[in-house]
Structure 1
C-alpha cells in the first residue's frame, strides 16, 4: 500500500528546516544551504542535477533510498517558488529549470488556482487549492502502489503531521546552527502524535533519524 513519507529532510542542530528571509536569491533562506552540505556531496544528489562525481557511503545510501519507490510528491507553495498571492502569469516554473528532478506528478498546495504544468522528464506540476487531504488523494491516485513523498517545507509537514497522515520520516540533523528560521519542532509534540525514533545513524556530515508512527 502507498505510504506518505518524508525523506532526507535536513534540520540544523537548533531545529530549523530553513533559514529566514526566503527569496529568489535565497530559496532556502539565509544560510539555508548549509543544512544540505551532506546531500550536496553525495553521488545521488549530484546525479539528480546533472553533475558527475560525488561521494559514496552512508550519506549517499540514505540519499539513494530517499528516491526509491516514489510515485508522486507534495510540495508547499514556498517550496515551488517565491511568488506570493495570485499567480501574476505562468512564467514562474519552479527553481529547477525545464527538467525538474521529480520525474513524477507533483502536487503543489496553494490558495490560488493555476493550470497544470507539464515539464521535461515526466514531471507534471498540479496546483491544489482545496487542502491537504485533497492533495493527498490526488497524489495517491497518481502514485498507485508507490509512495507519496512530502518535499516540504516545514509548514506543510506540520499540517500532515497534525492530521496523523505521515507514516514515517527520515530527518537529517546537520552540524550547523542557524539561530532563526523555520522551526521544525515548535508546536509539534511528536510523541503525543504517536511517533517515535526507531533508528539513528551518525556520519561525519550528519545524523540520520528514522521516525515512525506507531
Structure 2
C-alpha cells in the first residue's frame, strides 16, 4: 500500500520548522540555513549547493532515505515560493529549470494556477484542497509508490493532525529560533500513535523517526 512519508524535516530545539520574515532573499526567514547545515554537509546534501564530497556517516544514512520509493510530493505554498509569489506569473519555484523532485508535485495554495512541467521530470500541480483531498490526488499520480509530504511546517502539522502520515523523520537541530512557525502546536499526545526511535549524531543533531503503530 502507498505510504505517506516525511523525510529530513529539520526543527529547532523549540520546535520551529522555519524562521520569521520569509522573503525571496531569505527563504527560511531569520533562521537562514542553520536548520539545514547538517544535511548540506553530507554526501547526499552537498550537491544542493553545487559541492562535491561530504560526510558519509549517520546524517548521510538518514538523509539519503529522502528519495527512494517516492512517486509524488505534496508541499505548501511557502515551500514553493516567498510570500506573494502567486502574483508573479513567471515564478516557477526556487529550484531553477530542473527542480530536484522528479515526480508530480502538488502545491497547496488558495490561488491555484495551471500546472507547470519542468525539466527532469517534475510537474507542479496547484491545488486548493484539504489534506485528504490532496493526498488522494497525489496517490493517484504516484504510480503505486509512496507520497512525500515535503513541508513547510504548517503542511506537516496539518497532515499529522489529520492522521495521514505513516512515517516521519524529523531532525532536531541544537539551536533556538524563538519565533517562526512551530510544528508541534495542537499535536498533543501524538506519540501515542507512533513508535518513536531516537538517534544522536556526531554533528550534534538528533534524528527522530516516527512509524505509525499498526495496532
Query: How far does residue 48 in structure 1 lie from its aligned partner after superposition?
Result: 4.8
2:148 match: secondary structure = strand
Deviations 1:169-214 (A, max 9, x none): 10001111111111111221143762341x1111122110111222
Which residue of structure 2 aligns with residue 64 of structure 1? 64
Cα separation, 1, equivalents of 2:88 and 2:178? 36
CA contact (8 A) 1:3 1:147 kept: yes
Which residue of structure 2 aligns with residue 121 of structure 1? 120
Alignment TM-score, normalising by the size of structure 2: 0.93
Cα separation, 2, equivalents of 1:135 and 1:51? 34
Stretch moving more, 66-75 or 183-192: 183-192
CA contact (8 A) 2:131 2:162 kept: no
1:152 match: secondary structure = coil
2:71 match: secondary structure = strand
Deviations 1:80-134 (A, max 9, x none): 001438x334211101111111111100001112000011110100001232222
CA contact (8 A) 2:7 2:169 kept: yes
CA contact (8 A) 1:128 1:134 kept: no
CA contact (8 A) 1:15 1:183 kept: yes
Q: Unpaired runs of 5+ in structure 1?
A: none
Q: Unpaired runs of 5+ in structure 2?
A: none
CA contact (8 A) 1:49 1:101 kept: no
Stretch moving more, 183-192 or 162-171: 183-192
Cα separation, 1, equivalents of 2:25 and 2:90? 17
Cα separation, 2, equivalents of 1:204 and 1:127? 40
2:89 match: secondary structure = coil
Matched, 1:38 2:38: yes
1:33 match: secondary structure = coil
Which residue of structure 1 aligns with residue 14 of structure 2? 14
Cα separation, 2, equivalents of 1:24 and 1:143? 30
**RMSD after superposition:** 1.6
Which residue of structure 2 aligns with residue 174 of structure 1? 173
Cα separation, 1, equivalents of 2:32 and 2:187? 21
1:30 match: secondary structure = helix
Cα separation, 2, equivalents of 1:150 and 1:188? 17
Equivalent pairs counted in the alignment come to 212
CA contact (8 A) 2:10 2:170 kept: yes
Which residue of structure 1 aligns with residue 202 of structure 2? 204
